[in-house]
């Protein structure tokens, strides 16, 4: 899904599922994988802002969870629906939830940032 986003901003070719060998080649390329990760994260941040009206740009745990699980739009729309109902009932809106991978990254974020800085 993010192949177009990546190809629009880099010199990498856009790939489609119809050509699985090109998809696999892109996934196995370290540089392309970083672009895919960045584009996927940017898309998730935009989707949550647009659909759930929640800024997740500084929440690495949620970003990792969404990258791990996918379906960012569906998850943002479901959270929007739940929070609409909660606001109607004068309840506090719920934040997005991390899965184990997101929780782990959040717990280890300082250590990871220190290792990356070295």
pLDDT in tens, 49-78: 999 999 999 999 999 999 888 899 999 999
User: Which sign does the torsion angle of CA 84, 88, 89, 93 carry?
Assistant: positive
**DSSP code for 11:** S
Helix (H) or strand (E) holding 93: none
Name the nearest CA neighbour of 73 among 94, 48, 98, 96. Answer: 48
Band (35; pLDDT cuts 50, 70, 90): confident
pLDDT band at 80 (very low <50, low <70, confident <90, very high): very high
Q: Please state the rounded mean pLDDT for residues 35-61.
A: 92
CA 112 to chain centre: 18
Question: What pLDDT, on the 0 to 100 scale, is given for residue 25?
Answer: 85
In sign, the C-alpha dihedral spanning 2, 13, 34, 38 is negative
């Amino acid at each position: 899904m993010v192949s177009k986003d990546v190809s629009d901003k880099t010199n990498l070719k856009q790939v489609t599922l119809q050509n699985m060998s090109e998809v696999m080649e892109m996934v196995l390329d370290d540089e392309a994988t970083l672009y895919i990760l960045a584009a996927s994260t940017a898309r998730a941040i935009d989707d949550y802002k647009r659909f759930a009206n929640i800024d997740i740009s500084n929440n690495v745990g949620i970003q990792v969870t969404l990258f791990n699980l996918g379906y960012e739009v569906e998850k943002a729309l479901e959270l929007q629906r739940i929070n609409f109902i909660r606001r109607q009932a004068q309840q506090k809106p719920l934040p997005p939830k991390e899965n184990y991978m997101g929780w782990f990254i959040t717990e280890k974020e300082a250590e990871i940032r220190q290792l990356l800085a070295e």
